[in-house]
Amino acid sequence: MAAFEEMGVLPEIAKAVEEMDWTLPTDVQNEAIPLILGGGDVLMAAETGSGKTGAFCLPILQIVWETIKDIQQGKTAKVNREVSPLWLMSFFDRDVGLAVTPDGLRCQSRDPKAWQGVRGTKGVVGKGKYYYEATVSDEGLCRVGWSTPQAALDLGTCKNGFGFGGTGKKSNCKQFDDYGEPFGLRDIMGCYLDLDGMEIRYSKNGVDLGKAFTLRNEFRNATFYPAVVLKNAEMSFNFGASPFQHPPKAGFVALCEASKDCTVISGVKASDSGKPNTIQKNAPQAIIIEPSRELAEQTLKQVTLFRKFLDNPLVRDLLVVGGVPVKEQIAALNNGVDIVCGTPGRMEELINSGQLSLQACKFFVLDEADGLLKQGHERLVNSIYNSIPKITSDGKRLQMVVCSATLHSFEVKRMAERLMHFPTWVDLKGEDAVPETVHHVVVTIDPRNDTAWSNLKRHVHTDGVHMKDNVRPGNNTPETLSEAVKLLKGEYCVRAIDIHNMDQGIIFCRTKLDCDNLEQYFNQKGGGPKNRGNPYSCVCLHGDRKPHERKANLESFKTGDVRFLICTDVAARGIDVGGLPFIINVTLPDEKSNYVHRIGRVGRAERMGLAISLVAAVPEKVWYHGEWCPTRGRGCYNTRLTTERGCCMWYNEPQYLADIEEHLGVTIQQVDKDMKVPVDEFDGKVVYGEKRASAGSNYQTHVEQLAPAVQELSELERQTQIIYLKRQYGKDYPWNR
């Protein structure tokens, strides 16, 4: 049996995985896949390129497929197809947007617009005085009470239903009258039904609120069921199987103590209702949020590859990203979708307009979660989370999966504590780390020592920050040195490419303008998008490029039509280019976690990679267009500093380098301007872009390497034991005689 199948993965998915040449699960997959298949919430913190995407896509696809299959076979109510003989809320006599936990004692609806109701599995008839408790376990709107089987599930809106709402109104036949007092979160409502005296009353936290309804004669032989209707709320019920928080008034008994001859079992069964066996078309089971279009596309592609052999039933997936017409996405939603993967903006637009329903969502995935929070999407994450029912319509709990190579941030931990349900950390290192397969070095650029910038015939077009400054060779002002850094960075970048014969690499620049300028420089050198033969052939990817151009450029880079992708941090996270050998940081990112993500574009899936960062030894004045900049940078010439209401700042790269080193707990190796990277660490056997000759999984060499250390440890252990025994037993012990 294939390794993936042994973990409980469906043979059809395992077959697809095998076709992708994945013979063994990676460490993170080994841990996370069974956890997700088992229904848990997972925080996945593993290095870049360690296979996190597969670790969540694979089990989610499997569960989604199994659920669709169950629905097709009419097994949605797998929890319980028969009406329970116990006193519970019914799995069948309910609106489809309301979920009931498998124990039947908690109901929830996350529909913010429509009321969703449910009745109990049993009712009482004839005579007797009955009581049950309903507790508001999550804020929202609710009406609770009693209804006959003929009543609408929207309790209190017809003559056969009697409800009391949290706003302090009782209702019957759409007549809403003041009664008692409002109630809300954590309040325990006592619901009384007196069939002898023909009245209904309520209590709040044990305090009697008085008579609410007198039951007319026509109800003399009616069966009354406990009932509730919710709007974006949750209530828990106790029909008497557990001790009541507030025991009923004298003469009343718990519903579950009703005598057999006064009890009626609900006639609404799975086959009658039909409703729970259907799923709204625009209500996917899984929502995956990614920080960029490219990543959303890449993740969905992985789902598509995994589902290759899952043909009956088909799992329908949809990419929901901005910059492309929304019409097609809406049409696809209306045709039915099971897994939606997209970026925050478009996702929010579709949810808010009601085109994308969260009612059937059972997986909420935040990929690159720290990145999403840093981009300012916390409010959106909260609002989506709040709108998803925490219990799905088939009685399962919502599962949340959160992952990134840099998950160890305060914001992520705070979010996990707030939103996730006893999550398991799959954390292979316990801190943000760089994979061993990534060789990363720093080249210092010091225009005071390297004066090559002063007589360059052709050079990169700089960003114009110093256009109005008096910058010229010989004048060692900070402005001149800053301009010199910009010129030298273009040269060092080209030198890195030449020295290492780089035939494929990603080049990260700080701004979109820097990207454009470098692209132009490479094009002047004969590069360009259609010239693979040229050592500087390149394409560019950043937020100002049109979506179709971004897509085409990434594609031509991935397929090897061009050698270089010049980009901003928009491509720092997640982008996976098989066997990519090189990356160059023209400027270090100010966000230290992005350093990990950028250099993590190489050294993936056990391939070796080299990352070279160019770091200016002197401050560089750069653009920084914040919210205050009316054009957000376009055509902006305000070179004053941000502290003077301008759009520039002095960028202190040595400080950023120190921050990154501190964060990672390493000193990043420095190399000279000849860019010769010491090979000793890798025995000189490294070919960047390829697997190491004797990659770690060679068990035999591993044992040989460890043997001396283990022997030494065993000797130390022996000596420690002897010392202990001597102390404990003195000279009586054989060793001491």
Residues in contact with ligand ATP by the rule CB under 6 A: 22, 24-26, 29, 46, 48-54, 405, 574, 576, 578, 600, 604-605
> 65 CB contacts (<8 Å, ≥6 apart)?
10, 307, 310, 313, 315
Q: Answer whether 229's CB lies under 8 Å from 116's CB.
A: yes
| Residue closer to ligand ATP, measured from CB, 369 or 648 | 369
Q: Answer whether 230's CB lies under 8 Å from 116's CB.
A: yes
How many whole angstroms separate alpha carbon 166 and alpha carbon 148? 21
Taking the complex as a whole, how short is the minimal distance between the CB of residue 23 and ligand ATP, in angstroms?
A: 7
> 66 CB contacts (<8 Å, ≥6 apart)?
none
How many whole angstroms separate alpha carbon 436 and alpha carbon 427? 16
| Residue closer to ligand ATP, measured from CB, 61 or 88 | 61
Taking the complex as a whole, how short is the minimal distance between the CB of residue 57 and ligand ATP, in angstroms?
A: 8
> 717 CB contacts (<8 Å, ≥6 apart)?
none
The CA–CA distances, whole Å, from 48 to 44, 56, 253, 584, 653 equal 11, 15, 61, 17, 24
Taking the complex as a whole, how short is the minimal distance between the CB of residue 9 and ligand ATP, in angstroms?
A: 11
| Residue closer to ligand ATP, measured from CB, 163 or 689 | 689
The CA–CA distances, whole Å, from 203 to 128, 181, 212, 248, 408 equal 18, 10, 10, 9, 47
| Residue closer to ligand ATP, measured from CB, 189 or 575 | 575
Q: Answer whether 278's CB lies under 8 Å from 71's CB.
A: yes
Taking the complex as a whole, how short is the minimal distance between the CB of residue 585 and ligand ATP, in angstroms?
A: 16
Taking the complex as a whole, how short is the minimal distance between the CB of residue 686 and ligand ATP, in angstroms?
A: 19
Q: What is the crossing angle of helices 52-72 and 11-19, to 10°? A: 140
| Residue closer to ligand ATP, measured from CB, 50 or 148 | 50
| Residue closer to ligand ATP, measured from CB, 48 or 613 | 48
| Residue closer to ligand ATP, measured from CB, 54 or 140 | 54
| Residue closer to ligand ATP, measured from CB, 25 or 276 | 25
Taking the complex as a whole, how short is the minimal distance between the CB of residue 277 and ligand ATP, in angstroms?
A: 35
Amino acid letter, 722:
I
Reduced to 3 states (helix: H, G, I; strand: E, B; else coil), residue 414 is: helix
Amino acid letter, 652:
N
> 49 CB contacts (<8 Å, ≥6 apart)?
435, 437, 576, 600, 603, 604, 605
| Residue closer to ligand ATP, measured from CB, 491 or 576 | 576
Taking the complex as a whole, how short is the minimal distance between the CB of residue 440 and ligand ATP, in angstroms?
A: 15
Taking the complex as a whole, how short is the minimal distance between the CB of residue 30 and ligand ATP, in angstroms?
A: 9
Taking the complex as a whole, how short is the minimal distance between the CB of residue 681 and ligand ATP, in angstroms?
A: 22
Q: For the chain, what percentages of helix, strand and coil (3-state, to nearest 5) are there?
A: 35, 25, 45
> 222 CB contacts (<8 Å, ≥6 apart)?
125, 148, 160
Phi and psi at residue 692, to the nearest 5°: -65, 145
Taking the complex as a whole, how short is the minimal distance between the CB of residue 643 and ligand ATP, in angstroms?
A: 36
Q: Answer whether 222's CB lies under 8 Å from 148's CB.
A: yes
| Residue closer to ligand ATP, measured from CB, 32 or 616 | 32
Taking the complex as a whole, how short is the minimal distance between the CB of residue 2 and ligand ATP, in angstroms?
A: 11
| Residue closer to ligand ATP, measured from CB, 169 or 692 | 692
Taking the complex as a whole, how short is the minimal distance between the CB of residue 596 and ligand ATP, in angstroms?
A: 9
| Residue closer to ligand ATP, measured from CB, 27 or 469 | 27
Taking the complex as a whole, how short is the minimal distance between the CB of residue 369 and ligand ATP, in angstroms?
A: 11
Q: Answer whether 282's CB lies under 8 Å from 292's CB.
A: no
How many whole angstroms separate alpha carbon 687 and alpha carbon 669? 19
How many whole angstroms separate alpha carbon 133 and alpha carbon 242? 10
> 632 CB contacts (<8 Å, ≥6 apart)?
625
Amino acid letter, 22:
W
| Residue closer to ligand ATP, measured from CB, 223 or 299 | 299
Taking the complex as a whole, how short is the minimal distance between the CB of residue 306 and ligand ATP, in angstroms?
A: 11
Following DSSP, what letter does each residue of 274-326 receive, concatenated? -GGG---TT--SEEEE-SSHHHHHHHHHHHHHHGGG--SSPPPEEEE-SSS-H
Closest-by-Cβ residue to ligand ATP is 51
How many whole angstroms separate alpha carbon 79 and alpha carbon 75? 9
Residue (of 235, 270, 254, 271) closest to 90 by Cα position: 270
| Residue closer to ligand ATP, measured from CB, 430 or 708 | 430
